[in-house]
């Protein structure tokens, strides 16, 4: 019966398309604000209305995505929808999968919307899910609410045919440098799914922490490898790790949203927690300090940002250890790839060790690049033995002639790195620092955000949208580009609010370029759709970047003297909840810098919290010393009826010719449900 219904439905879909093509008029569907942009949209007259009792029919492979969609609808609409296995009916919403729809690929879909029905066709459940997210964006923004809303729940009539350009449309979350729990990652996957991003790359280990339970090696999740030392004064939620049960929970959640999670264990560099837990695996005896700490403290401990110890590529115990780790990862993550890092390995540490030099001579390895390829090949073989595909950062291509072609490359060092991989027959994910590192500023060096590791580039949303990953490649070489990915490194952007401001709305631009070819892109039309999607981000309680960032005021030469005096700014509109506050003083121009002695937050004229230390507002924007021009406050008893004022005691240094921006950024304690008012 179902097969017969499917054949009838597909036949009707052809005549339906013809009907639409004859009735095309300026309509609502053609004015949609869907991101990413659909491949084809044909408008028709009329609208379909969701009503109490509307029935959602599904074929076997469409059951799971249908359930996720109807659960969302019930929560926000309050309507009592019915779900049922596919039968022949004239009214309702139909989700139909069929192997005959090969032209749509694994994730494509076709939508046919009439006043009587919505019919969704796809080859797979993944295509059905993507169709539901398009329907979601065609509904009023109120659909994103957690409470029942009264709205006109209608969808304009017409036809949409759609499929993605790339199978890898990814986002990397660094949970090592700053840990984010299950609740945060679930919310991120909800938003990723809405914009049809389908890969979540979890950077689980780095010098700042090991973040996943490995049963065979329990020391990896001891306090000294997962909890920031007390001396760093970090909030508790920035430390921790995922238990294996939590990983299973995340993987299951991801699967229902057409997302696969790619785990990364970064070796042989960036392995400080590992050599602390199991010192015998290190290449040397340096284990100080005997704890983990935030990235920005690296210079005070090590004199630079890199660990003074790595895994020992000559030690068989290292490969035994990695075999045990990857065995458990392969069991936890059903995705086809396991990422093994391989970036920023300090070869100088290997060059200094006599036993390493002796090993290289024994193996006829000419240099440490060849030694790294030896290591990468050994690790790739271990991962392949688990039934998985290995992938690493493009640093591992330094000796490409000795690297197995079965190892995919995540290219972060520019267009040349993507070309280097593709031209040499390696599959590659395009994730260049410029423009896909979203921890980098997005307007200019004074864009008002709490970010930037002093990179030379500015990653504007325009640059993200206009990026073409296949630049310089011929058709054959382009086949090796798996897709695109944005990366969020949480060395500086530790607060969830700050991370959201860095990711959004740039992540929507990334979603679109991963979905449609460059010839179909139009920046101005994208910005029009983007502006309409900002209301959807508001409803989802996602902060995003606005011009000026957190800039709340400025200082000018006429406000300064050579002695301390107070400057005040009204911060009432920027004070909206209990939370942590950072007040920043960013010098922008002038012959003189400014000195700050004390910063106070006043509530109705009364001081409620202060930070007193000497700070200098100067040209410094790097990461190798403390940013003394940042002042930290905490508001525990917010009064929504109060007036809030920020008062700073400041003076000019050897003169008063100084200009700069004052930033004020409150990160609410209820970080998933409270955002800064527009």
Point out the residues that are catalytic: 206, 270, 344
- Could you give the CA distance from residue 561 to residue 650 in angstroms, rounded to a whole number? 8
- Could you give the CA distance from residue 252 to residue 330 in angstroms, rounded to a whole number? 15
- Could you give the CA distance from residue 632 to residue 609 in angstroms, rounded to a whole number? 10
Give φ, ψ of 56 to 5 degrees: -105, 115
- Helix or strand or coil: residue 567? strand
Q: Which two tokens stand for residue 673?
A: 């449900």
* Positive or negative torsion for Cα 183, 188, 194, 196: negative
Is residue 580 within 8 A of residue 649, CB to CB? The reply is no
4: number of Cβ within 10 Å: 9
- Could you give the CA distance from residue 287 to residue 328 in angstroms, rounded to a whole number? 26
Quote helix, strand, coil % in the chain, to nearest 5. 35, 25, 40
Q: Which residues contact 481 (CB under 8 A, 6 or more apart)?
A: 166, 418, 422, 427, 428, 429, 430, 469, 470, 473
Q: Which residues contact 86 (CB under 8 A, 6 or more apart)?
A: 2, 5, 6, 57, 58, 59, 94, 95, 96
- Could you give the CA distance from residue 306 to residue 318 in angstroms, rounded to a whole number? 20
Peptide bond into 36 cis (omega under 30): yes
Which DSSP string do the residues of 54-90 spell out, in sequence order? -EEEE-GGGHHHHHHHHHHHHHHH----EEEE----S
Return the bridge partners of 400, or none. Answer: none
Pairs from 66-69 (Cβ < 8 Å, separation ≥ 24): 66/95, 66/128, 66/132, 67/256, 68/129, 68/132, 68/256, 68/257, 69/129, 69/132, 69/135, 69/136
- Could you give the CA distance from residue 334 to residue 84 in angstroms, rounded to a whole number? 29
Helix axes 523-539, 506-515, angle to 10 degrees: 120
Tokens 């011009």 belong to 547
Helices (H) and strands (E) in the chain, counts: 19, 25
The string over 226-242, giving b where at least 16 C-beta atoms fall within 10 Å of a residue's C-beta and e elsewhere, is bbbbeeeebeeebbbbb
CA distances in angstroms from 486 to 167, 197, 217, listed in the order given: 15, 10, 31
Return the bridge partners of 302, or none. Answer: none
Which DSSP string do the residues of 532-547 spell out, in sequence order? HHHHHHHHTT-----T
Q: Which two tokens stand for residue 254?
A: 């991801």
């Amino acid at each position: 019966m179902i097969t017969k219904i499917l054949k009838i439905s597909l036949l009707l879909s052809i005549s339906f398309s013809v009907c639409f093509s004859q009735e095309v008029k300026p309509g609502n569907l053609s004015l949609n604000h869907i991101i990413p942009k659909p491949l084809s949209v044909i408008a028709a007259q009329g609208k379909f209305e969701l009503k109490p009792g509307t029935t959602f029919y599904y074929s076997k492979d469409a059951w799971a995505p249908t359930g996720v969609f109807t659960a969302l609808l019930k929560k926000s609409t309050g309507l009592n929808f019915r779900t049922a296995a596919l039968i022949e009916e004239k009214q309702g919403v139909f989700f139909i999968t069929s192997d005959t729809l090969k032209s749509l690929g694994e994730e494509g879909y076709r939508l046919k919307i009439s006043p009587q029905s919505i019919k969704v066709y796809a080859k797979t459940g993944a295509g059905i899910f993507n169709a539901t997210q398009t329907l979601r964006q065609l509904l009023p923004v109120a659909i994103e609410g957690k409470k029942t809303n009264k709205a006109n729940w209608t969808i304009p009539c017409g036809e949409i045919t759609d499929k993605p350009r790339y199978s890898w449309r990814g986002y990397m979350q660094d949970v090592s440098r700053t840990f984010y729990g299950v609740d945060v990652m679930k919310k991120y996957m909800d938003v990723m799914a809405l914009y049809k991003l389908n890969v979540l790359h979890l950077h689980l280990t780095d010098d700042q922490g090991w973040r996943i339970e490995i049963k065979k090696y329990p020391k990896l999740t001891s306090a000294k490898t997962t909890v920031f030392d007390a001396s760093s004064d970090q909030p508790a939620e920035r430390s921790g790790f995922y238990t294996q049960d939590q990983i299973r929970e995340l993987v299951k959640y991801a699967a229902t949203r057409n997302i696969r999670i790619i785990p990364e264990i970064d070796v042989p560099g960036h392995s400080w927690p590992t050599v602390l837990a199991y010192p015998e695996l290190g290449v040397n005896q340096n284990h100080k300090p005997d704890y983990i700490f935030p990235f920005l403290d690296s210079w005070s401990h090590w004199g630079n940002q890199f660990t003074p110890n790595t895994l020992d590529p000559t030690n068989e115990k290292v490969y035994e250890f990695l075999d045990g780790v990857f065995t458990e990862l392969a069991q936890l993550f059903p995705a086809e790839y396991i990422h093994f890092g391989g970036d920023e390995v300090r070869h100088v540490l290997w060059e200094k060790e006599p036993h390493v030099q002796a090993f290289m001579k024994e193996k006829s390895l000419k240099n440490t690049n060849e030694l790294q390829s030896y290591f990468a090949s050994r690790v790739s073989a271990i991962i392949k033995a688990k039934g998985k595909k290995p992938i690493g950062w493009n640093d591992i291509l330094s000796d490409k002639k000795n690297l197995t072609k079965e190892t995919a490359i995540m290219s972060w060092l520019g267009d040349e790195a993507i070309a280097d991989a593709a031209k040499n027959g390696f599959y590659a994910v395009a994730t260049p620092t410029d423009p896909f590192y979203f921890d980098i500023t997005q307007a200019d060096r004074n864009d008002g955000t709490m970010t930037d590791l002093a990179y030379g580039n500015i990653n504007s949303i325009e640059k993200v949208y206009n990026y073409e990953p296949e630049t310089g490649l011929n058709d054959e070489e382009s086949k090796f580009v798996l897709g695109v990915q944005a990366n969020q490194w949480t060395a500086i952007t530790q607060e969830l609010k700050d991370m959201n401001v860095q990711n959004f709305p740039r992540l929507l631009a990334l979603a679109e370029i991963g979905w449609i070819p460059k010839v179909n892109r139009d920046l101005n039309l994208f910005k029009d759709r983007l502006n309409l999607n900002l209301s959807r981000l508001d409803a989802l309680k996602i902060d995003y970047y606005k011009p000026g960032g957190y800039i709340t005021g400025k200082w000018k030469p006429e406000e300064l003297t050579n002695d301390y005096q107070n400057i005040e700014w009204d911060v009432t509109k920027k004070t909206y909840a209990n939370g942590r506050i950072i007040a920043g003083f960013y010098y922008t121009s002038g012959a003189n810098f400014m000195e700050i002695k004390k910063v106070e937050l006043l509530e109705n004229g009364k001081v409620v919290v202060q930070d007193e230390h000497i700070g200098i507002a100067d040209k410094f924007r790097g990461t190798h010393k403390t940013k003394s021009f940042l002042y930290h406050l905490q508001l525990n008893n917010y009064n929504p009826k109060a007036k809030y004022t920020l008062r700073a005691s400041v003076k000019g240094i050897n003169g008063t010719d100084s200009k700069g921006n004052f930033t004020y950024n409150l990160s609410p304690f209820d970080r998933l449900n409270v955002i800064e008012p527009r």
